[in-house]
């Protein structure tokens, strides 16, 4: 018998954040007359279940082995009737209100958005990346090799 490698601090943080985020979201259902909200006791029992599930799945994904493969395969995929996950409205609202206006990068001319006092990221079809060369990637054309690897999103 052997023990799994220990949990990383990052996995523990993700587990705690997801569990707290789920609890906050479920607490909000109390204001909706169409919902049957969970009690505080139920929410308190749900938190460790969510956190434990998150850290276990992350650990299995990041620790390739026959055991983790078996574990991940045993988890059924979500039913097709479930909606695809989307960003929560309050988070999207914060981005719209708090992030600076869209502009273009001085190095690569791709669209960028400000995420902090001196922090910018490229807005790409697949998400957001800091590096100009990484942001230039397309499946058809690969990376733009004219962009220096150290260039990062900066406003013009």
Is 107 a residue that touches Zn ion (CB under 5 A)?
yes
Residue 12 makes CB contacts below 8 A (sequence gap 6+) with: 55
Cα Dmax for the chain? 59
Q: Are 22 and 50 in contact (CB under 8 A)?
A: yes
Considering beta carbons, is residue 51 or 105 the nearer one to Zn ion?
A: 105
Q: Are 18 and 51 in contact (CB under 8 A)?
A: yes
Whole-angstrom Cα Rg for the chain? 21
Considering beta carbons, is residue 68 or 103 the nearer one to Zn ion?
A: 103
Least separation in angstroms between residue 98's CB and Zn ion is: 22
Is 129 a residue that touches Zn ion (CB under 5 A)?
no
Considering beta carbons, is residue 50 or 132 the nearer one to Zn ion?
A: 132
Is 50 a residue that touches Zn ion (CB under 5 A)?
no
Is 105 a residue that touches Zn ion (CB under 5 A)?
yes
Least separation in angstroms between residue 147's CB and Zn ion is: 7
- φ/ψ region of 142 (left if φ > 0, alpha if ψ in -120 to 50, else beta) reads left
> Which of residues 108, 113, 121, 129 is near Zn ion by CB under 5 A?
108
Q: Are 6 and 37 in contact (CB under 8 A)?
A: no
Considering beta carbons, is residue 19 or 153 the nearer one to Zn ion?
A: 153
Interacting residues toward Zn ion by CB under 5 A: 105, 107-108, 132, 153
């Amino acid at each position: 018998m052997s023990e799994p490698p220990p949990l990383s601090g990052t996995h523990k943080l993700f587990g705690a954040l997801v569990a707290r985020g789920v609890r906050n979201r479920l607490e909000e259902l109390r204001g909706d007359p169409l919902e049957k909200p969970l009690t505080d006791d139920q929410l308190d029992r749900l938190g460790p279940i969510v956190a434990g599930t998150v850290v276990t799945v992350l650990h299995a994904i990041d620790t390739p082995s026959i055991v983790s493969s078996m574990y991940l395969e045993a988890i059924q995929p979500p039913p097709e009737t479930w909606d695809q996950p989307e960003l929560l409205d309050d988070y999207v609202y914060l981005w719209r209100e708090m992030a600076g206006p869209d502009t273009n990068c001085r190095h690569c001319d791709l669209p960028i958005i400000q995420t902090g006092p001196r922090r910018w990221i490229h807005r790409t079809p697949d998400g957001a990346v800091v590096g100009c060369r990484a942001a230039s990637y397309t499946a058809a054309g690969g990376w733009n090799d004219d962009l220096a690897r150290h260039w990062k999103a900066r406003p013009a």
